[in-house]
Chain A
Amino acid sequence: MDFGTLLQILDTTVRLATPLLFACLAGLVSERAGIFDIGLEGKLLAAAFFSAAFAAVTGSVWVGLLAGILASLALSLIHGLASITFRGNQLISGVAINFLAAGLTVLIAQSWFQQGGRTPSLADDARFQEITLPFADAFSGLPYIGQSYSELFSGHSLLVYVGFLTVPLVWWVLFRTRFGLRLRAVGENPAAVDTAGVSVVRLRYAAVMICGVLCGLGGIYLATGLQAGFVKDMSSGRGFIALAALIFAKWRPWYALFACLLFGFFQALSFRPDVVETVTTVAIPGQLLDALPYILTVVILAGFVGKAVPPRAGGEPYVKER
């Protein structure tokens, strides 16, 4: 395998890791506040569809962006209503949201576009274009460093850079601001936060809404960056891989980045079975690479390699004493 092939695979890794990263950070904010969210998949899908649909109709990717975020927020609101206001089961709510998105996107797509549950292909203006970083072309002749710069770091769409910048942002908000401290506290011991006179309900809604925005960005990237338009079930389990990455990362932002890159790398490899075979000299079935994130997560959850401890109040509705 030459350096060029490696760069190609890493470049694909970055692209495939981006939607995982958005969804993973979204789940991180929500679960740190004590609201389990297995509805990430549904939010990715809903945002992907509405961004593609509105971008296709208006021809503007920014209108698509707005529509995608609003769609994801709407599902977040349902999740908040069910799990915070009505103190229902957060896991069941998440399952419902996944199915709601899977069904509604196809239903509406069929009604609007009559193309069997997909949107029309997006023209260039309706997508996030690849950005060439300064001097990328000038440096591309330089071996290794210049090549990496122009092929790996340059040439991604805006949302990829936003995704990677969201990691330090989430870290800073969660661990360096008062809001973040309270948000984490509400996921560990909501009664203490309540006693301190801070509204548990408001904090948790804030977390769920942030989750909605971030997850929405992931879905928007799927439909307007990674691909050009929406197809039925296009999230194809990414929300669950993000969930796996979140556990793998033990609910920490920087670890989440590496987990998502790792799982993105597996996905990139499953596109290149030829490369895998020449490097390992044995034929590894692509299905094994597909299943690897899930298997690794089970191993991590089993606690054989380090222990993943979720936020203590996660999944529990908070009942104020009367």
Chain B
Amino acid sequence: MDVIPKWADAILIPLISILLAFLISALVILAIGEDPVEALMLMINGTFGNSAGIGFMLFYATNYIFTGLAVAIAFHARLFNIGGEGQATLGGLGVALVCLSLPWPHWTLALPAALVGGAVFGALWALIPAYLQARRGSHIVITTIMFNFIASALMVYLLVEVLKPAGSMDPATPRFPPGASLPQMSDMLGLVGIPFSSAAPVNVSFFVALLACFLFWLLVWRTRLGYEIRAYGHSETAAEYAGISPTKIILIAMMISGGLAGCMAINNVMAAERLVLNSVEGAGFIGIAVALMGRSHPVGVLLASLLFGFLVQGGAEIDFWTNIPRELVIVIQALVILFTGALDNMVRMPLARLFLMFGRGRSGGAT
């Protein structure tokens, strides 16, 4: 079965898939009469040309790390959580409620509290579909899709009817207290004497996201629970025979997943310093592409998040300077999901044949 060595499975196949996705994106740009090379140069210059561009890239990447890890932990339990968008929306509600509830004296107190608020709200929003999957056999993909729509309707209702300050026309919460504003990357780098633009909203949450990657690795590969989640993902029957409760794994994996998606709100909502409509902006869905591309491994998720942060920031640049709208990023996102997720075998099968022809014997030990 396993004719493809481990390194090829982890690096070569995603790489080929991504190259295919980019190749087709380039053809799309050509087809609408624009120059793909010029577009790419614009994206690179607009992102890496100044520190504000890098700041925006890291800001977006922070969102995608959280939602990517959320989808990834569910993938390890062979659950497909499309509900990241809704869970991150509810996480935003949790973060906003925490930030508005107290006149926070300092961000070091506000951040952990908001993190808990976002995680709890996100986790609870994932709990209902998880329970229905575990106990009632309702397909989790369908229920999480439905919960995305319910979340967005709920949020419109809350922001328009409940949380909006009296007299305001704008469907948004009041501004958070000043003690809840997070230190910006420019402030932190300024302390060590590195100049960094304060235009970009990237903040201390980026480091929280990096920490989350490490904790994710620890959880999945170094704890009993992580082992149980992976065992359940590989074979439900074997896991059950080994005494692992499917109900427990589904509930816990989905709550971690929803919690991670909810944690995203410390970045986007706390940086905006108030909760607005559609604050998630599709990050929950980009998480799917990120997790697929990163092979559900935190290092992969981190790299894929940085790539998507670059694409979104670069997409805004070409939207501004050329006739290519920023929706190009959605096309690239779709192609990445298609090639790394659904058309995986299209790359894998010919590659396996190649390895059979040339690599026999050398790759025997790989699993």
CA distance A83 to B32 in the complex (A): 29
Restricting to B315-367, which residues have a CB under 8 Å from any CB of A?
Answer: 323-325, 327-335, 337-338, 341-346, 349
Whole-angstrom distance from the CB of B355 to the nearest CB of chain A? 18
Whole-angstrom distance from the CB of A285 to the nearest CB of chain B? 5
Choice from A93, A110, A240 contacting B338 with Cβ under 8 Å? A93
Choice from A92, A104, A294 contacting B28 with Cβ under 8 Å? A104
Task: Point out which of A92, A106, A108, A287 has the most chain B C-beta atoms below 10 A from its C-beta.
Answer: A92
Whole-angstrom distance from the CB of B55 to the nearest CB of chain A? 25
Contacts of B328 in A (CB 8 A): 103, 107
Number of interface residues, chain B, beta carbon within 8 A: 49
Given A78-B338, A88-B345, A100-B331: A287 and B154 interface contact (C-beta under 8 Å): yes
Choice from A88, A285, A301 contacting B342 with Cβ under 8 Å? A88
Restricting to A78-130, which residues have a CB under 8 Å from any CB of B?
Answer: 78, 81-83, 86-93, 95-100, 102-104, 106-108, 110-111, 114, 117
Contacts of B292 in A (CB 8 A): 92
Task: Point out which of B34, B137, B329, B331 has the most chain A C-beta atoms below 10 A from its C-beta.
Answer: B331
B145 touches A240 (CB 8 A): yes
Nearest A-chain residue to B135, judged by Cβ? A302
Given A108-B32, A294-B146, A297-B142: A99 and B333 interface contact (C-beta under 8 Å): yes
A111 touches B145 (CB 8 A): no
Whole-angstrom distance from the CB of A251 to the nearest CB of chain B? 13
CA distance A19 to B285 in the complex (A): 25
Restricting to B184-226, which residues have a CB under 8 Å from any CB of A?
Answer: none
Contacts of B153 in A (CB 8 A): 287-288, 290-291, 294
Given A87-B345, A287-B156: A96 and B146 interface contact (C-beta under 8 Å): no
Choice from A83, A99, A303 contacting B330 with Cβ under 8 Å? A99
B334 touches A96 (CB 8 A): yes
Contacts of B346 in A (CB 8 A): 86, 88
A298 touches B32 (CB 8 A): no
Mark interface residues in B287-299 (1 if CB within 8 Å of A CB, else 0): 0100010000000
Whole-angstrom distance from the CB of A177 to the nearest CB of chain B? 29
Nearest A-chain residue to B156, judged by Cβ? A287
B343 touches A103 (CB 8 A): no
B149 touches A291 (CB 8 A): yes
Choice from B33, B149, B334 contacting A111 with Cβ under 8 Å? B33
Nearest B-chain residue to A110, judged by Cβ? B325
B279 within 8 A of A: no
CA distance A90 to B33 in the complex (A): 33
A247 within 8 A of B: yes
Nearest B-chain residue to A79, judged by Cβ? B342
Choice from A91, A99, A291, A302 contacting B150 with Cβ under 8 Å? A291
Contacts of B341 in A (CB 8 A): 88-89, 92-93, 95-96
Mark interface residues in B117-161 (1 if CB within 8 Å of A CB, else 0): 000000000001000100011110111011101100110110001
Contacts of A114 in B (CB 8 A): 323
A310 within 8 A of B: yes
B342 touches A298 (CB 8 A): no
Contacts of A91 in B (CB 8 A): 80, 82, 141
Contacts of B33 in A (CB 8 A): 111
CA distance A295 to B28 in the complex (A): 38
Mark interface residues in B244-258 (1 if CB within 8 Å of A CB, else 0): 000000000000000
A244 within 8 A of B: yes
Mark interface residues in B147-182 (1 if CB within 8 Å of A CB, else 0): 101100110110001000000000000000000000
B146 touches A103 (CB 8 A): no
Choice from A103, A110, A247, A288 contacting B323 with Cβ under 8 Å? A110
Contacts of B156 in A (CB 8 A): 287
Contacts of A117 in B (CB 8 A): 325, 327
Task: Point out which of B80, B82, B288, B330 has the most chain A C-beta atoms below 10 A from its C-beta.
Answer: B330
CA distance A82 to B346 in the complex (A): 8
Contacts of A295 in B (CB 8 A): 146, 150
Which B residues are within 8 Å of any A CB, using their own CB? Answer: 28, 32-34, 80, 82, 128, 132, 136-139, 141-143, 145-147, 149-150, 153-154, 156-157, 161, 285, 288, 292, 323-325, 327-335, 337-338, 341-346, 349
Q: List 18 A-B contacts (CB under 8 A).
A: A93-B343, A96-B338, A99-B331, A100-B335, A100-B338, A106-B325, A106-B330, A107-B324, A107-B328, A110-B324, A117-B325, A287-B154, A288-B157, A291-B149, A294-B149, A301-B143, A302-B138, A303-B137
Beyond the given pairs A88-B341, A88-B343, A291-B149, 13 more chain A to chain B contacts, judged by CB atoms under 8 angstroms and listed by A's residue number, are: A86-B344, A91-B80, A96-B337, A96-B338, A102-B334, A103-B334, A104-B331, A106-B325, A243-B142, A243-B145, A288-B153, A290-B149, A301-B143
